[in-house]
Amino acid sequence: MSGPVRAERDGAVLVLTLDRPAARNALDPALMGGLSEALRAADADPGVRAIVLTGAGTVFCAGLDLKAFAAGGDIRGLVWFYHRGTATPVVAALNGHALGGGFELALACDLAVAAEGAELAMTEVRRGLFASGGGTTLPARIPMALALEMGLTGDRVTAARALDMGLVNRVVPPGEVLGEACALAARIAANGPLGVAMTKRLMRERRWGSRAEVDEVFTSADAREGARAFAERRPPVWTGT
């Protein structure tokens, strides 16, 4: 894939790279459209069982491209991802700062590995806006007082502080971010895809599985394969059925 998003496949893991380093990977219509297309394609590919999202250069994503916004560009390209996400798990590899819409992009991912020195912030209020890409749901993840402080001040938090707050899963040296994120994604991809997708869905929705959802997974060919592989002491071969 060419354009503002690069895609590289490593087995069942797909790495998507925001590729506007000169603009600090700011989200303009082309980048949002390209990322939306890449995410939808990956989610529809049964061979992709985990996605890693990172940025080119030294910044993950500086947020909304304000020049494009001021010019009236369409900034709705990723609304579906912010709101619903993908069935396929997504690991954010925060190679640098994640600000404004870039922070919300990280929030829309399922797991996050951050570089030492990276900073996260909801900066929208500093531009007369609000975090419409999911930042206002932050109190579901961290204490209300901390969420309000981030949302109302626009102040940055360090990667170490984000780890303490539970906003990221790992903090590693900058040169190790992508490798750590890919290793995490590979561990996810090694598991049964139906079980992984259902676990993500139910955890995101904070609910028990329905009888139909339980039957969908527990009567699948993969469920039988998992049991056989355990009994035969071999790695399972998943088919996603």
Coil vs helix vs strand at 18: strand
Consecutive H or E run containing 137 = none
User: Can you spell out the DSSP letters for 55-88?
Assistant: ESTT-SB--B-HHHHHTT----TTHHHHHT--SS
Structure tokens at 63: 């947020």
Rg, Å, the chain Cα set: 18
- Of 28, 104, 128, which is closest to residue 69 (Cα–Cα)? 28
Rounded Cα distance between 222 and 217, Å, is 8
Please enumerate in sequence order all residues whose Cβ is within 8 A of that of 42, keeping only pairs 6 or more positions apart, or say none.
7, 14, 16, 48, 51, 86, 88
Rounded Cα distance between 189 and 46, Å, is 11
Sheet holding 98-99, edge to edge: 98-99, 119-121, 157-158
Residues taking part in catalysis? 104, 124
CB 106 within 8 A of CB 96: no
Torsion from C-alpha of 191, 195, 198, 202, nearest 10 degrees: -90
